[in-house]
Amino acid sequence: MQMKRRTRAALLSLALVCFAGVSAAHETWILPVSMRVQVGQPIALSLTSGMAFPADDVAIQPARVVRAQVRLGGKIEQLPKPQLQRMSLRYPWRPRSSGVATIGIELGPRTLELDPNLIGEYFDEIHATDAVIAQWDSVPEPKRWRESYVKHASSFVRVGVPVRDASWASPLGLGLEIVPETDPTALLAGANFRVRVLRRGVPLKGFSIGVRREGEPTSNYVPTDKNGRAWIILPRAGRWILFGTDLRRVDEPGLEWRSDFVTTTIGVLPVGTR
């Protein structure tokens, strides 16, 4: 049974790659080489898709990126032209003032088509809601799955000694966004990290946020409340990824589904760190 399940999961990944180039079930994240830098210190920001955070896996082609920005001290600037690496797209950046930098990336929409026999595994991959599963179950035969998906990624960097910079608590304006309500660059092991999830600026109720520490194979999931908020316990130091998928049934020419994938990467410090 376990071997059969692994085989079907492998077929799902292959189908996603064949239809969409980069697998929609893969998370796409932006990760700074360091979560803390000094003013004027150059830093590389690595954009990749993969299943084993934080390992680079599949490079994002530059043409897919429709938005690449950083906000520092309330000022937004476009990230410089990236460098395409073998397994990542790397953005160079040099902060010119102290504060907490919010980095945001969006990829343009792509469309995939899946074999209906693989949808169950896909639902497992994205932690689909019962409502979405019920919608699929209600579709009469012959079933067809055509989906347009968009990916959104963010991260945060502490630059120098921030003074009165709480811009990290404001949405950057991504189509789907995990917005911190606790300074994401001052988290210590054991912290209770409060966030909001917004879809086009509106709080998203009942959204399942996946939480995984670097190098670990399993994830925890935390739902948002009626105001789009969630409280996430981060028990250990290290780099963490928050992620989730907003999948919606649509009635459009050539489409049955739309989805938005979101990730946020953060660093958690050992207790006693300043």
Instruction: Give yes or no for a contact between 9 and 121, defined as CB atoms under 8 angstroms apart.
Output: yes
**What is the per-residue pLDDT for 74?**
86
Rounded to two decimals, the pTM is 0.90
| pLDDT above 90: residue 188 | yes
Q: Give residue for tokens 């000022």.
A: 75
Query: What pLDDT does 179 receive?
Result: 98
Encode burial over 225-245: b for 16+ CB neighbours within 10 A, e otherwise: eeebebebebeebbbbbbbbb
Look up residue 232 and give its amino acid.
Answer: I
Give the helix ranges, DSSP H, for 144-232: none
- Token couple for 143: 């079933």
Residue type, 176: L
User: What gap in Å lies between CA 82 and CA 47, rounded to an integer?
Assistant: 10
CB-based burial label for 133 (10 Å; 0-12, 13-18, 19+): middle
Name the phi and psi angles at 11, rounded to 5.
Answer: -65, -35
- Token pair for residue 76? 């937004």
Tell me the pLDDT tens digit for each residue of 56-68. 999 999 999 999 9
pLDDT digits (tens, 9 = 90+) for 201-229: 999 999 999 999 999 989 999 999 999 99
Amino acid occupying residue 189: A
* pLDDT in the model for residue 160: 94
Cα 57 versus chain centre, distance: 15
Residues 142-175 pLDDT 10s: 999 999 999 999 999 999 987 788 999 999 999 9
